[in-house]
Structure 1
Amino acid sequence: MPRREDCAWCGSTRLRVKVRTRDFVQLKPGWFTLEECRACGHVFQNPRLNEEGLDFYYRDFYDGLGEEATTDLFGGTGARKRYVASARAMAVHDRPAKWLDVGTAHAQFPQIARAELPETVFDGLDMGESVEKAAENGHIAEAYRGTLTGLAAELAGQYDAVSMFHYLEHTLEQRKELAAAHTVLKPGGHLMIEVPDPQCAFGKLFGKYWLPWFQPQHLHFATMSNLCAELADTGWTVVHASRTGDQHIPLDGVSALWYFSTRFVPDDDAPWLPKRPSKAVIRARIALLISLVPALAAVHFSERALAPLVRRTPFSNAYRVIARRT
C-alpha cells in the first residue's frame, strides 16, 4: 500500500518515524515502519501491507507450522492468571448470559473464564481454522469463522458481552470494529478491550526489540485516551479504563533479549528462506541457542517475579477498557 501522509486516526500530517523493524518471530523477509502522530499519539504501520502481504505473514503463525508454538505462548500459566483477572474485571460490571470472544484463536480465554462465570455461554470468532477446532473440542459453544465487521449483521443484538483481547491492533479499520461490536451487543451489554499500550515505557527503552510492536501483524496502536474518546462519541459509556493492572504481560525483557540475539543466531530451517541452511549452520544455531538459555531463563524469571510491581508503573505494557453499550 502507498505510504499515508496523514494520521490514520486524526488526519494530522504531523508524523514521525517511531521504529523501523522486522519480523523477529518467523524471520520472514521485509522491514516495516511504524509512524507516530505528534498530534494525537496514534502509532500505525506506514506504509501498510496489503491483504496479500498480511496473508503471507499470518500464514503458519496461528495455524500450520507455527500453531503449536503460538498456543504455548498464549496459553501458558501467565495467560491463565491474566484471563482469570479479565473475567473477574467484567464480572464487576456484568455477569453476561452470552459472551462473544473476538479473535479467539484456540479459545484459551473462554476455556479459562468458564470457571469464573459458569453460567455464561461463550462463543468465539476468528478468521483461522483454529476457531472451528475450538468448537469441536468443546471450548466454545459456537464458532464463527470470518471477520466481526462481516458477521455483525448476522449476529446483531445476540450478546451481552464482547471481548477483544489483543485483537484490535491487528485490524485494518478500528472504528469499524467498534461499530460492529456495538451492533452485536444487546443494549446495556459490555465490550472489553485489552491492547498493547503505545505509551508504555518499555516501548521507548527497547525500541524495535519491544515485543508488542510485533511487526508486521500489528497495524494500529490507539492510545487509551483516543479509544475512550471514540467510544464516548459513538454510543458507549466507558465504565473502566486503566493503563496499569493485571492485563500486563511480563515478556518485554526476555523477548527483547531474544530478538536482539537473532542478529547473531543463524536462521532456522523454514520454507520461506531462499535456501536451506547447511548441517554446519544448524549445529552452530543449536550451540548458540544453548548458550543463551541461562540468560533468557534469568530474565524470564526476574520478569515474572517483578510483574506485580511493574504492572503498577508506566512500564505496564497493555491497557484495559470496558464500555457499556448505551
Structure 2
Amino acid sequence: MAGCILCGGEREDWLNCPIDAKTLAPTPYGRVTRCRNCGLGAVEPLPSAAELPAFYQLEAYYTHGESHFQKGEAQSFPDRIRDHLAWRFDKGEPVKPEALIALAGKPAAETRVLDIGCGHGDLLKRFQKLGARPAGLDPDPDALAHLKEAGIEAHQGTGEAPAASLEGQVFDIVAMTHSLEHCLDPVKTLATAFSLVRPGGVFLCEVPNCACAHFERFNIMSEMFDTPRHLYFFTPDNLRKAIEQAGFVVESDYYDGFLRHFQNAWRATENHIREGIVKDGGDASVMPPVHSKAETVRLLMETALSSKEKKYDCVGFVSRRPAA
C-alpha cells in the first residue's frame, strides 16, 4: 500500500463497497483506504485511465443533465413538516458566478473562465449568461459536443493531461466543482489548475465533504461515496491543505448540501444502494443503518445546529494565485 498522495502518510483500511453505486454491478474499485495523518481517503487500487470512461456510461448521471435518483414515496404531511424544518436550518449557499467575476476584478465581458471537469457545462452556461467568456475541459466527447452547441469553447482532456489547445493560455477564473474527487491524481490536477490561473486570478474548488455527519453515518450507501467514479475522499482540512500545497492562497470557504439529506428521493436512493450491497453478499449487520424516516429525523436533530463541517455534505474554497 503506497503512502498518501498528499502528505506521504501511512494509509489504513477504511471503507469497502463491493458494487458500483449506480449500476449495482460488482466492482473491484470499492475499497477505500484513509491516511492516518491527514485523513485523505483514496480508492485502493486505483483504476487505470483507460478504464475511467466506462464508469460514466450510465443511463442517467447528473453531469449529463439527467437525474439518477430513485423516485421515493409520495410526500406526506409529516414529511413536509420535516423538510420545512430542515429548510429553516439550512444556511448553506454556494458561491455565485457574479461574486467570482467581481473577485476576478474585470468586467464580465473581459473575464475568461475555465471549468475543469465541466460535464455538460451547467456552471459555464451561468457564466455565459453574465457575459463572461467560458471554456470547458472534459474528457467526454458527448459533453464537449454539448458545449459547442451552446457556443462555449471546448477542450478535450483531464486535469492530469490537459488538452494541448490550452498550452500557454491563462484564465481569470478556473473552477473545479465536484471533479477533483474523480481525478486519478488530485495533486497533479491542482498543479494544472494553478498553471491555468493568471497571476492574481481566482480558483474555485468544491468537493464532497466526507467529514460531515451524513457521510459518517451512511458512508458506502451515501450518494457522496459513489465509487468507482469517486476516487478520493476529502475533508475540509485536507482539501485546504491540497489547495495551499499547489500554491494558491485560500481567501474563503463555503458549505452547501443539507436539506436534501432528509428528502424522500435522497433516502430512497441510498436505501436502493444498500439493498444492492446486501444482495451482493454484504453483511447487513456491519453495514450502515437503513436510512429510515426515524434515522432521518434523528440526523436532523443531531445536525440542525451543528458546525458547518459536520452539517453540510459539500465544501468549497475560493482561492487566489499570488500576483507575484
Matched, 1:150 2:154: no
Partner of 1:213: 225
Tell me how far apart the structure 2 counterparts of residues 69 and 322 of structure 1 sit (CA, whole Å).
Answer: 22
Q: 1:238: how far off?
A: 1.0
Paired letter, 1:100: L
Matched, 1:321 2:317: yes
Query: Does the C-alpha gap of structure 1 residues 160 and 15 become closer, same or farther in structure 2, counting only changes over 3 Å?
Result: same
Kept after mapping to 2: 8 A contact 1:12/1:37: yes
Query: Does the C-alpha gap of structure 1 residues 50 and 181 become closer, same or farther in structure 2, counting only changes over 3 Å?
Result: same
Q: How many residue pairs align between the two structures?
A: 274
Partner of 2:212: 200
248, 251, 254: which one aligns with 2:257: 248
Query: Does the C-alpha gap of structure 1 residues 141 and 310 become closer, same or farther in structure 2, counting only changes over 3 Å?
Result: farther
Paired letter, 1:319: V
Paired letter, 2:128: R
Kept after mapping to 1: 8 A contact 2:181/2:232: yes
Tell me how far apart the structure 2 counterparts of residues 55 and 144 of structure 1 sit (CA, whole Å).
Answer: 16
1:3-48 Cα shifts (integer Å, max 9, x gaps): x243232222251323434212122322511111221111111122
- Aligned partner of residue 25 in structure 2, secondary structure: coil
Aligned-pair identity in percent equals 23
Partner of 2:139: 127
Alignment of 1:41-120 (within 5 A): 41-58=39-56, 60-61=57-58, 65-66=59-60, 70-73=64-67, 85-91=95-101, 93-95=103-105, 97-115=111-129, 118-120=130-132
Partner of 1:274: none
Partner of 1:15: 12
**CA RMSD of superposed structures (Å):** 3.5
- Aligned partner of residue 227 in structure 1, secondary structure: helix
Structure with higher RCO (Cα < 8 A, 6+ apart)? 2
Q: 1:226: how far off?
A: 2.4
Q: 1:191: how far off?
A: 0.7
Q: 1:263: how far off?
A: 5.6
Query: Does the C-alpha gap of structure 1 residues 88 and 200 become closer, same or farther in structure 2, counting only changes over 3 Å?
Result: farther
Provide structure 1 residue ranges, at least 5 long, that are not aligned to the other structure.
75-81, 266-294
TM-score (ref. length: structure 2): 0.72
Q: 1:256: how far off?
A: 4.5
Kept after mapping to 1: 8 A contact 2:137/2:163: no
Q: 1:237: how far off?
A: 1.3
Kept after mapping to 2: 8 A contact 1:125/1:131: no
Kept after mapping to 1: 8 A contact 2:49/2:184: no
173, 181, 187: which one aligns with 1:161: 173
Paired letter, 2:189: E
Q: Which moved more, 1:128-137 or 1:145-154?
A: 145-154
Tell me how far apart the structure 2 counterparts of residues 235 and 85 of structure 1 sit (CA, whole Å).
Answer: 21
Q: 1:312: how far off?
A: 4.4
Partner of 1:174: 186
1:231-269 Cα shifts (integer Å, max 9, x gaps): 334432111124xx3x3264445434323235658xxxx
Tell me how far apart the structure 1 counterparts of residues 128 and 210 of structure 2 sit (CA, whole Å).
Answer: 31
Kept after mapping to 1: 8 A contact 2:182/2:229: yes
Query: Does the C-alpha gap of structure 1 residues 70 and 120 become closer, same or farther in structure 2, counting only changes over 3 Å?
Result: closer
Kept after mapping to 2: 8 A contact 1:15/1:35: yes
- Aligned partner of residue 178 in structure 1, secondary structure: helix
Query: Does the C-alpha gap of structure 1 residues 226 and 184 become closer, same or farther in structure 2, counting only changes over 3 Å?
Result: same
Q: 1:150: how far off?
A: 2.7
Query: Does the C-alpha gap of structure 1 residues 250 and 158 become closer, same or farther in structure 2, counting only changes over 3 Å?
Result: same
Tell me how far apart the structure 1 counterparts of residues 259 and 180 of structure 2 sit (CA, whole Å).
Answer: 20
TM-score (ref. length: structure 1): 0.72
Paired letter, 1:144: H
179, 184, 187: which one aligns with 2:199: 187
- Aligned partner of residue 184 in structure 2, secondary structure: coil
- Aligned partner of residue 216 in structure 1, secondary structure: coil
Q: 1:325: how far off?
A: 0.9
Tell me how far apart the structure 2 counterparts of residues 312 and 163 of structure 1 sit (CA, whole Å).
Answer: 22
Partner of 2:251: 239
Query: Does the C-alpha gap of structure 1 residues 257 and 190 become closer, same or farther in structure 2, counting only changes over 3 Å?
Result: same
